[in-house]
Amino acid sequence: MLRFRNALVFISIALVLCVPFTSTVLSKLGVVFPKWTGISEPVSYLDGGFKHGFPQVSAQTITSGEFQDNLELFLADHVPLRDNAVLAKSMTEHAIIGSMAFASSYDWYPTYFGSDTFYSDQYDALAPLPADFDPQINAGLSAFAENLTAYAQAHQDVNFYIYMVDQFAYSEANPLRDLEDDLPSTREFITLLQDGTAGLTNVHVTGIAYTDVGEYLQNYWRSDHHWNNKGALAAYNALALLASKPLIEDVEFTNLEGIIFNGSTARYGRYPVDEIPFDSTFDVSNLEMDIYGELPPSEQAMAAEKSPDEEKSTITTPQEIREAYLNSDHDRFDAFYENYYGDVIDTLITNKAAGTEQGEALLVGDSYASAIQYYIAGQYETTYVTYELYWESTDTPGEEPHTLDLHNARDVYFVANPADYASLLDRFPELFR
């Protein structure tokens, strides 16, 4: 019996220890593992990115410890069922914390020990811890207001509409704000921009600052930091009021059956809430998109992986983008938001149903602009969409710095979250030149 027990312990532990190494070597040799193991998958949906490649070996990387750190990450990525194991761990911790939260009558509690993401049974939703006060955000917003003021004064014939997105981390609707004092809020940021651009008739600053968590979760995904179609539409209507454009009220929202969505908050929180996403019935059939810009860095590798041998198509439609996503294989943690709406890149959207009198618009946005761009584009003959507010975007050293190209737009929309506004001029110092 002792021999049997010894053999059991030895074989079991040896298997656990050897599998990552063996699977790494076999994948290097070209062996393709079944999809459910996750070994041969190039991406980790749970981590929301590509798996680590084999690290670069050099004296410098070894002495700095960079090689060792990256090799450990590389090996960890080749553990079979890694994402499932990681989820199982956090779900176990979540159950322990949940039992104590139940006993303490706390509705919102961390998704695992040490997690900055909280879950509510009542709302079946996730919320991040509120962001602490960061003087850089205020300084960045002041700089944005100052530069925009000068730019708007120089372009009196152009109207600027600034929409401040109510990200959960800054929202007064965030139920976790009770845990800390002196937190910044979207409302304060809106006021800061309004004060910074006061007196200008061609600059309009707005934003919906929610105060009720239930209302907030009607307009933003329960598992993601982005707004949903209702939230984007509400934002459009707020902008439309300022821009004297027609309000969009006669749309319905329909579920996208067969799709399960767990966004960034679920990924960071390691906790799936399995949302069924929905879309509005707003007619986009007249919109055509000419993607003429470079993909943002995060998208380039993904696009190359998806179609390494194909030439990139530059003319598409919102419908094609949506259908391409709906007809592809899905993981519950894949990036529904950016894949379904299309990520924000340099794009010209043409509205075939509009006349020349409807003119031209420019939308400068971060990822929030993806969901609102079609509502705006529906009101103009042509709408340029640029991605400068996207947080990863920055001037390339050695190349001509970005400047704002107005084309012939008389209406310029900025749509982004507070942090992206605040960092814009650090990333594109010459944007308002």
Partner 1 sequence: MPVCIALYYLMPGRAAKNIFLFLASLVFYAWGEPVYVVLMIVSVFANYMFATLLGREADHTSDRAVHKPTKKARLYLILDLVFNLGVLGFFKYEGFLAQNLNALLGTELIPDLALPLPVGISFYTLQAVSYVIDVYRGEVEAQRNPLFLGMYIACFPQLVAGPIVRYSTIQEQIVNRKETMAGFCDGLRLFSVGLAKKVLLANVVAILATELLSMQGSELGLIGVWGGLLAYTFQIYFDFAGYSDMAIGLGRMFGFTYLRNFNYPYISRSATEFWRRWHISLGSFFRDYVYIPLGGNRVSTPRWLLNIAIVWLLTGIWHGAAWTFVLWGAYYGLLLIAEKTLLLKLLKRLPAFVQHIYALLTIMVGWLIFASIDIGQLGTLFAALVGAYGLTGTSSFAALGVWQYLPVFALCACASMPVIPWIRFKLVAWAEHREVKGGDFIEHDLPAPKMLSTERLCIFDMSKVSDVKRRRVLEVVALLADICLIVLFMCATISVISGSFNPFIYFRF
Name the site residues for partner 1 (rule: CB under 8 A): 1-2, 4-6, 8-10, 12-14, 16-18, 20-21, 62-65, 68, 76, 79, 82, 85-86, 88-90, 93, 96-97, 99-101, 104, 106, 109-110, 113-114, 178-180
Nearer residue to partner 1 within complex by CB, 131 or 242: 131
Judge residue 158's burial from the number of C-beta atoms within 10 Å of its C-beta, 0-12 exposed, 13-18 middle, 19 or more buried: middle
Q: Residue 213 in contact with residue 173, Cβ under 8 Å?
A: yes
Q: Provide the token pair at 23.
A: 């699977």
Q: Which is nearer to partner 1, 180 or 323 (CB)?
A: 180
The dihedral of CA 189, 48, 325, 347: what is its sign? positive
**Smaller CB separation from partner 1, 101 or 284:** 101
Cβ proximity to partner 1, 132 vs 430, nearer residue = 132
When the beta carbons of 129 and 233 are compared against partner 1, the nearer one is: 129
Residues with Cβ within 8 Å of residue 180, at least 6 apart in sequence: 130, 132
CB of 359 to partner 1, least distance (A): 51
- Tell the smallest beta-carbon distance from residue 149 to partner 1 (Å): 39
**Residue 256 to residue 273: CA distance in whole angstroms:** 16
Beta carbon of residue 21, minimum distance to partner 1 (angstroms, whole number): 7
Main-chain dihedrals φ then ψ at residue 99, nearest 5 degrees: -65, -40
Query: Residue 75: what residue type?
Result: L
**Cβ closer to partner 1: 21 or 253?**
21
* Min separation Cβ 292 and partner 1, Å: 39
Q: For residue 35, what are the CA distances in angstroms to 17, 60, 344?
A: 21, 36, 30
Report in angstroms how near the CB of residue 174 gets to partner 1 at its nearest.
14
Torsion angle of alpha carbons 175, 176, 179, 181, nearest 10°? -80
Minimum Å distance from CB 330 to partner 1?
A: 23
Q: How far is CA 81 from CA 20, 31, 36, 41, 349, in A?
A: 11, 17, 7, 11, 42
Least Å from the CB of residue 221 to partner 1: 24
Q: Which is nearer to partner 1, 108 or 163 (CB)?
A: 108
Report, in Å, the least distance between residue 173 CB and partner 1: 18
Q: Which is nearer to partner 1, 266 or 354 (CB)?
A: 266
CA distance 237 to 219: 13
CB of 197 within 8 A of CB of 152? yes
The three-state secondary structure class of 237 is helix
